[in-house]
C-alpha cells in the first residue's frame, strides 16, 4: 500500500450517494443491513453510482488502476472499507469506498474488519487517510513486510501480504526494476536528456507494486538506512541524491 489522495466525486454521483444513504437511515435499525444490501445490488442504483465511483477511484489508485491494498492486480471492485454487513449506513458513503482487485476483495478481506480490543478503532489501514509507511516496513531485499503497529500486522494478515507468493516474488522483481529506474534517471539527467529522465519517473510509478519504490525512498531517509541497505550502498547513494528525490517524490 502507498499513501493516496482522495478526490471529489462528480456532483451527480455524490447526490445519489446521499439519497441512498438517507433511504437506509429511514429504515428501522434491524432492517438496515438488508436495505443496504438490496440497494447496493439494485441495477438502477448501481447504474447511478458505479461508473462514477469506479472512474474516480481509478484516478486515485496507484499506477494503472492498481488495487489499493496489494498494489499488484488491477482494481476492478468497489470495496467497502468497513463492510456494509457491519456498517450498513456507510454503504453509500464516499469515504468508505476503495478500489480493490477481485482477489483482495473476495478472497482475502471479504467481511473482515478487525478492531482494537482497547478502544474499538479499526485496525486496517485506509491509505486515503493514513500513510501505510507508518505501519508497514518492507524488508529489503526479502520484499516481505514487517508490521510496525497493530494496524500493520492486521493488514499483513487480512490481505496476505507475506503469504501470497505471487506478491512477494513480484516485489522482488519490482525492487530490481526500481533500482534500474533510479540508475537510468541519473544517467539520463547527467546527459541532459531531461525528457527521457521524466519518462523514467512516470514509468517507474506506473508499474505494479509501486509500494516497493515508495518504501525504498522512505527507508533511505531512516536513521538506520545503512543497515537497511547493507550491501546496497550504490542504491542508497542514489536514493539520497536530492535532485533524484525531488524528481521522483514530486509525483507522490
Predicted confidence (pLDDT) at residue 75 exceeds the cutoff of 90: yes
What pLDDT is attached to residue 141? 82
- Last residue of some domain: 109, 128, 143? 109
Q: Reduce the DSSP state of residue 123 to 3 states and report it.
A: coil
Per-residue pLDDT tens over the stretch 30-59? 999 999 999 999 999 889 999 999 999 999
pLDDT band at 252 (very low <50, low <70, confident <90, very high): low
**DSSP code for 213:** H
Q: Is residue 30 part of a domain?
A: yes
Per-residue pLDDT tens over the stretch 97-145? 999 999 999 999 999 999 999 999 999 999 999 999 999 999 988 999 9
Share the mean pLDDT of the chain: 95
**pTM given for the model:** 0.92
- Last residue of some domain: 69, 93, 109? 109
What domain range includes position 215?
A: 165-249
Q: Please work out, in degrees rounded to the nearest 5, the angle formed at the alpha carbon of residue 198 by the alpha carbons of 197 and 199.
A: 90
Q: Is residue 114 part of a domain?
A: no
Q: Of 87-91, 115-119, 170-174, which range is least confident?
A: 115-119
Reported as type and span, the H/E element at residue 159 is helix 150-159
Q: Looking at the 3D structure of the chain, how many domains does it have?
A: 2
Amino acid at each position: 500500500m502507498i499513501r493516496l489522495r482522495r478526490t471529489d466525486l462528480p456532483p451527480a454521483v455524490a447526490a445519489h450517494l446521499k439519497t441512498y444513504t438517507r433511504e437506509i437511515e429511514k429504515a428501522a435499525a434491524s432492517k438496515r443491513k438488508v436495505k443496504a444490501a438490496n440497494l447496493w445490488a439494485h441495477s438502477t442504483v448501481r447504474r447511478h453510482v458505479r461508473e462514477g465511483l469506479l472512474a474516480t477511484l481509478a484516478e486515485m489508485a496507484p499506477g494503472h488502476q492498481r488495487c489499493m491494498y496489494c498494489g499488484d492486480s488491477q482494481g476492478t471492485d468497489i470495496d467497502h472499507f468497513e463492510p456494509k454487513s457491519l456498517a450498513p449506513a456507510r454503504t453509500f458513503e464516499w469515504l468508505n469506498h476503495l478500489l480493490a482487485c477481485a482477489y483482495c476483495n473476495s478472497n482475502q478481506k471479504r467481511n473482515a474488519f478487525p478492531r482494537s480490543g482497547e478502544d474499538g478503532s479499526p485496525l486496517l489501514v485506509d491509505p486515503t487517510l493514513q500513510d501505510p509507511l507508518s505501519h508497514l516496513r518492507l524488508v529489503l531485499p526479502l520484499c516481505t513486510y514487517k508490521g510496525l503497529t497493530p494496524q500493520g500486522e492486521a493488514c499483513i494478515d487480512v490481505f496476505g501480504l507475506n503469504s501470497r507468493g505471487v506478491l512477494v516474488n513480484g516485489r522482488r522483481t519490482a525492487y530490481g526494476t526500481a533500482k534500474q529506474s533510479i540508475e537510468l534517471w541519473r544517467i539520463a539527467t547527467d546527459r541532459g536528456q531531461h525528457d527521457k529522465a521524466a519518462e523514467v519517473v512516470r514509468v517507474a510509478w506506473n508499474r505494479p507494486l509501486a509500494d516497493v519504490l515508495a518504501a525504498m525512498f522512505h527507508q533511505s531517509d531512516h536513521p538506520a538506512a545503512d543497515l537497511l541497505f547493507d550491501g546496497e550502498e550504490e542504491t542508497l547513494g542514489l536514493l539520497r541524491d536530492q535532485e533524484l528525490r525531488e524528481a521522483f517524490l514530486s509525483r507522490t
